[in-house]
Every structure is written in C-alpha cells, then in structure tokens.
C-alpha cells in the first residue's frame, strides 16, 4: 500500500468522524420587529435567497456530514425548526427549556455526541450567519477537521474587510504543520471588541481575524476544557447526556437544566484553551456577515435595477418617489415612500419600525424601552 493511498484513507476516516452542531438561539433584537422572541433571526430569509438562515446553515454543512447534524434550540422553536429541517432526527434536536448561553448549549451537544462515540469531532456553527460561497467554507472546515484530529480546538478566522469595532478578534501565531490543513496556524489569544485605534492596529498587523464563533474540535477535548474551567456545568451536562437516549431524558433535563450556570463558550472553553496552547485557526477565505442590523440586510440584498431602494418581502407593495434605503415588508399593505433617504422601514402585522441606516444599531434600545414599558406583546 503506497503512502499516498494510506493518507487518502486516513483523510476519509478523519472527515468521517465529523458531526455538525448548529446552536440556534438569540432573538436578534437589533432586527426587531422582523426578528423577535417568537420568530428569531435564524427563522427568516434575510438575504432574499429563498432559504431561511438556519436552512442555509444546515445545507452548507450537508456535504461535510451526510446528515450528521445536531441542532440546539429553544423548546418554543421546536415546531418552526422542524418545519425548516424536516429531515432532522429526534435525537439530533436538542431543546432547551430556557436559554443558558452558549457554553451549556454547545457543551450539551458535545456531551451527548461523546456518549455516542468519544471519537467524534464536532463543528459548531451559529444558525444565523450568512456565508458565501459554501465551497470555500467547506474547504476551511475540512482543514479544521484535520487540524482538530491532531488535538486542537480549531476556530475559523474571518479575514477582516474593515477595522470593525463590533466583533471580537483572533490573534494568530505561527503556522502549524498538519496533513490536510496547509493553512492552519496556532492561536495566541482571543481578544474582545476593540476600540477603533486598536482595531486599526489589528488590521495593519495582518495577524488578526474576526471571531465568528465557529469551533471545530474533538468532543473529548471540548469536554476536558469545560471540566477544567466550569466543573459544575460539565457535571450537569454529563448527567443530562447520560439520560439522553433513555426514557428519563425529559425528567432529568427538567431537573438539571435550570440549575446550570449561564456562560459563553468563549469564557468557558475558547479563551482558557488558547492560553493552554490548545487552539488553532484556519483562515476563512469566504465572505461572512452576522446580519447584525438592518444596514447589513441592505448590504446583503440586491436592489432592483435603477433603484436605491431595497425591498424585501414576498408580495411587498412598495411605491417610492425619490426614496432610498431598505423596506422589509412582512404584510400585504401598500407602503408609499416619498422624498426620504437612507430610511429603514420594517412593516410587520403588529409593529412598525422607521429609522435610518445610520441608526440601525440603536434598534436594540427601542426594544429595551418597549420591554421596560410592558409592551412585550410585540417583542
């Protein structure tokens, strides 16, 4: 047997250990009133592609997983997620009775998968990101799987298009030598959202990528770091996982889940693992957007020809005269715009938002005020 054929078979068997995980949480407050508690961001088609964000995320992982994909979401979204992903197995749909932040969600997936097969390499990708082209994403994930197989928690770094102050960054170290992962690098540290001056410096140095929260890792290694940093959380997750494929699943989860600490996977695993030298990075050559606000929706949707107004929504009836900006129509109402620039209008049956692209980030504030005033029926 030649070395080449052995290597090919090794590669196949490494990739065959991969299992996708899609945490589908968060209400996308800055996309209110389109995105809201009952219909969060990931359940919408925000790019005019014809697919919801969660469906597109699932489809992007399919060629890597042959359907081995677990979704972790709120129990209130069960029906909507099944409508989007009818092929998902019951045992691959993990329902949270209440939100417990990303360490619990991703940690539970790791614990359940670890009981099924301790050799699994998981890859966690949020349900509400926009990525293109899918092939470049899949190439990066394949490199990440090969790197993970060498004992790393591997993140995929997004090449920054501008010195954003809205994202965390990944500081890359030296290149690694990993078969099947020619672009792999060590990670020195994760850093939080920087000031503008600091972000400018990051871009100039060439060693920083955006942190999109993508993690590919052996489940055993994820759990080991979780045990070291959050032993209580780790113990609770193992107990739930032990009952997962038994009739006690619901009863055990109902007892333990509410007691678990809320913490982000960044603090519970990624940052301490980086400090321990256990994190690697694959640079992602694809374009990426977290669709953080309505300005992003404007960027991601093509305008009609000869129009500076982008209109989203099936059956939208928009009439404009000297208007530019974005209209998201979730009703059948006629919308007339006259002489208004860079406007953002989101029209839903029970709530209307009117703002500007410039103020798109402040939508969160409006939602907070609505909550404070008790008008939670539209949140």
Q: Are the C-beta atoms of 236 and 259 separated by less than 8 Å?
A: yes
CA distance 3 to 32: 56
Nearer to a copy of itself, 191 or 340 (CB): 340
The residues in 118-157 that bind a copy of itself, with binding defined as CB under 8 A, are none
Binding status of residue 37 toward a copy of itself by CB under 8 A: no
Instruction: Give phi and psi for 176, each to the nearest 5.
Output: -105, 160
Nearer to a copy of itself, 181 or 296 (CB): 296
Binding status of residue 39 toward a copy of itself by CB under 8 A: no
Helices (H), 66-172: 78-84, 101-116, 134-148
CA distance 158 to 77: 29
At 66 the three-state DSSP class reads: coil
Q: How far is the CB of 352 from a copy of itself (least distance, A)?
A: 5
Nearer to a copy of itself, 206 or 319 (CB): 319
Determine which residue in the list 39, 95, 252, 366 makes contact with a copy of itself, applying CB under 8 A.
366
CA distance 20 to 327: 34
Which range binds a copy of itself by CB under 8 A, 63-71, 115-123, 191-199, 316-324? 316-324
Q: How far is the CB of 374 from a copy of itself (least distance, A)?
A: 11
Binding status of residue 296 toward a copy of itself by CB under 8 A: no
What the block records as the tokens of 34 is 């389109």
* Per-residue x/- track, 323-342, a copy of itself (CB under 8 A): ---------xxxxxxxxx--
Binding status of residue 369 toward a copy of itself by CB under 8 A: yes
Establish whether the linkage from the previous residue to 133 is cis, with ω within 30° of 0: yes
Q: How far is the CB of 41 from a copy of itself (least distance, A)?
A: 17
Q: How far is the CB of 331 from a copy of itself (least distance, A)?
A: 9
Q: Who contacts 213 (Cβ-Cβ below 8 Å, separation ≥6)?
A: 102, 124, 126, 265, 266
CA distance 235 to 260: 10
158, 184, 201, 208 from 162: Cα distances, Å? 11, 23, 11, 12
Nearer to a copy of itself, 108 or 346 (CB): 346
What does the DSSP 8-state code read for residue 268? Answer: I
Residue with tokens 């389109």: 34
Q: How far is the CB of 377 from a copy of itself (least distance, A)?
A: 8
Q: How far is the CB of 198 from a copy of itself (least distance, A)?
A: 27
Residues within the interface to a copy of itself (CB under 8 A) = 32-33, 317, 319, 321-322, 332-340, 343, 345, 347, 349-356, 358-359, 362-363, 365-366, 369-370, 373, 375, 378
């Amino acid at each position: 047997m030649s070395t080449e054929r052995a290597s090919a078979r090794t590669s196949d068997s490494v990739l065959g250990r991969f299992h996708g995980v899609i945490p589908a949480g968060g209400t996308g407050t800055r996309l209110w009133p389109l995105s809201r508690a009952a219909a969060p961001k990931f359940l919408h088609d925000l790019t005019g592609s014809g697919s919801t964000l969660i469906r597109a995320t699932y489809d992007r992982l399919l060629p890597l997983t042959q359907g081995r994909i677990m979704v972790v979401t709120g129990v209130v979204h069960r029906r909507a997620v099944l409508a989007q992903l009818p092929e998902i197995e019951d045992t691959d749909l993990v329902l949270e009775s209440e939100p417990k932040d990303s360490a619990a969600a991703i940690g539970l997936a790791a614990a359940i998968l670890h009981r099924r097969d301790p050799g699994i390499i998981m890859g966690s990708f949020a349900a509400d990101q926009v990525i293109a082209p899918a092939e470049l994403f899949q190439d990066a994930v394949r490199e990440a799987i090969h790197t993970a197989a060498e004992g790393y928690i591997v993140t995929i770094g997004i090449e920054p298009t501008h010195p954003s102050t809205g994202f965390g960054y990944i500081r890359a170290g030296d290149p690694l030598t990993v078969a099947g992962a020619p672009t792999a690098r060590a990670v020195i540290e994760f850093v939080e959202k920087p000031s503008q001056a600091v972000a400018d410096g990051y871009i100039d140095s060439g060693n920083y990528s955006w942190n999109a929260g993508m993690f590919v890792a052996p489940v055993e290694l994820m759990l080991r770091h979780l045990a070291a940093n959050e032993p209580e959380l780790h113990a609770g997750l193992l107990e739930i996982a032990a009952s997962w494929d038994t009739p006690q699943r619901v009863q055990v989860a109902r007892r333990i889940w509410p007691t678990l600490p809320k913490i982000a996977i960044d603090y519970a695993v990624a940052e301490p693992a980086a400090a321990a030298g256990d994190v690697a990075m694959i640079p992602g050559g694809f374009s990426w957007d977290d669709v953080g606000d309505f300005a992003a929706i404007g960027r991601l949707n093509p305008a009609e020809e000869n129009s500076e107004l982008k209109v989203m929504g099936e059956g939208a009836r928009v009439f404009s005269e000297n208007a530019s900006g974005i209209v998201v129509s979730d009703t059948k109402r006629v919308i007339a715009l006259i002489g208004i620039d860079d406007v953002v209008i989101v029209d839903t049956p029970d709530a209307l938002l009117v703002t500007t692209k410039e103020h798109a980030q402040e939508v969160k504030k409006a939602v907070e005020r609505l909550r404070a005033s008790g008008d939670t029926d539209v949140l």
